[in-house]
Amino acid sequence: MQELSSLQAKNAQEAEALRIKYLSKKGEISQLMNDFRSVPADLKKELGMRINELKNFAQEKINTLKESVGETTAAGSSSIDLTRTPYPIALGSRHPITIVKNEIVDIFSRLGFTLAEGPEVEDDWHVYSSLNFADDHPARDMQDTFFVESHPDIILRSHTSSVQSRVMEKTQPPIRILCPGRVYRNEAVSARAHCFFHQIEGLYVDKNVSFTDLKQVLLLFAQELFGPDTKIRLRPSYFPFTEPSAEMDVSCTICGGKGCSMCKGSGWLEILGCGMVDPAVLEANGIDSSIYTGYAFGMGIERITNLKYQVKDLRMFSENDVRFLDEFVSAK
């Protein structure tokens, strides 16, 4: 043992020579094993233990020597190969809905809009009544709204317009907010409809806010989102909470307006609803409509994501299929 503990090796060859000297088949310790056969039976146990001890000691000593001269042994536990190529790391991606939401939020925040949030489980007042929906308006119907059983007044919000009311009841103008969030509707799930999806609502209330302001902001938004050549068109429409109301189309993002299968030959794609906040809505939420005016708009994020990335089936957004999500790794 003493002889073994004082062993030295300057390099890998010397360490290997020591291994051969002591531990190889014909080495000194293996030789002892051979001699062991001729030892009387009563000494075998004691001697066997000693030889094993010696062998382990030699093995450890030589491993240490090998490591210290830079050679890694097969059993060398502390050996880390820093030159080895790493395993490829699978990069995650943001969800496409988040990517598009962030892009929209970014555009409007440059125009001074700040974020506001409201609850997904809402009451009838904030989703409908405060927004001028008549008691018998069809949107309240079971067809559309999810009700909380035994609490007919508590519902899952069916649009983010509810946040308009949440903010107006607590804040006096100027108000300039953007409210992204999830909404729920009682629809059968298919490629073209889902029981939950995402919207972004915008609201601006101040003195002298006009329809011209709304139109200019929406034009800038459309050109930032879809490119500087994008055109917009406003068509008269109806929403209970805006008067006048409009729906906005953008020139087709695929054919630029010539007509293709995406825009069904019309050259236009509808992307949002908007209008001037109805004075009755301002009043219902504690804002003096003789002093203030405002505009509002609301859009579906899935719809815009479909236009940007040509996602054909709405269900892809909630299935979390990694092959689908991987498509967005290089997006922002």
Judged by the rule CB under 6 A, the positions of this chain that interact with ligand DAH are 159, 161, 201, 239, 242, 273-275, 296-298
Cα–Cα distance between 108 and 202 in angstroms, integer? 9
E-strand ranges in 108-189 read 114-115, 121-123, 147-148, 151-156, 175-184
Place of tokens 């299929």: 321
**Nearest distance, CB of residue 162 and ligand DAH, angstroms:** 9
Q: From the CB of 298, what's the least distance to ligand DAH, in Å?
A: 2
- Sign, CA dihedral 80-86-90-92, equals positive
Q: Which is nearer to ligand DAH, 180 or 273 (CB)?
A: 273
244/259 with CB nearer ligand DAH: 244
Residue 331 Cβ, how far from ligand DAH at the closest point, in Å?
26
CB of 204 to ligand DAH, least distance (A): 11
Considering the complex, state which of residue 96 and residue 273 has its C-beta at the smaller distance from ligand DAH.
273
Nearest-angstrom CA–CA distance, 130 and 78 = 69
Angle between helices 96-109 and 301-309 (to 10 degrees): 110
Q: How far is the CB of 272 from ligand DAH (least distance, A)?
A: 7
Token pair in block for residue 328? 């967005």
Q: Indicate the SS3 state at residue 299.
A: strand
Nearer to ligand DAH, 18 or 127 (CB): 127
> In whole angstroms, how far apart are CA 60 and each of 1, 54, 55, 153, 205?
12, 10, 9, 77, 80
Handedness of CA 33, 34, 35, 39 (dihedral sign): positive
Considering beta carbons, is residue 113 or 297 the nearer one to ligand DAH?
A: 297
In 3D, which of 180, 210, 229 has the Cα closest to residue 292?
Answer: 210
* Alpha-carbon dihedral 269, 99, 213, 111, rounded to 10 degrees: -160
Which candidate, 157, 170, 166, 160, places its Cα nearest to that of 104? 160
| Smallest separation, CB 322 to ligand DAH (Å) | 31
Tell me the closest approach of the beta carbon of residue 328 to ligand DAH, in angstroms: 26
Which is nearer to ligand DAH, 144 or 224 (by Cβ)? 144
Orientation of helix 28-36 relative to helix 12-23, angle to 10°: 10
Nearer to ligand DAH, 15 or 281 (CB): 281
Residue nearest to ligand DAH (CB): 298
CB of 196 to ligand DAH, least distance (A): 13
Q: State yes or no: cis peptide before 88, omega within 30 of 0.
A: no
Which CB sits closer to ligand DAH, 159 or 198?
A: 159
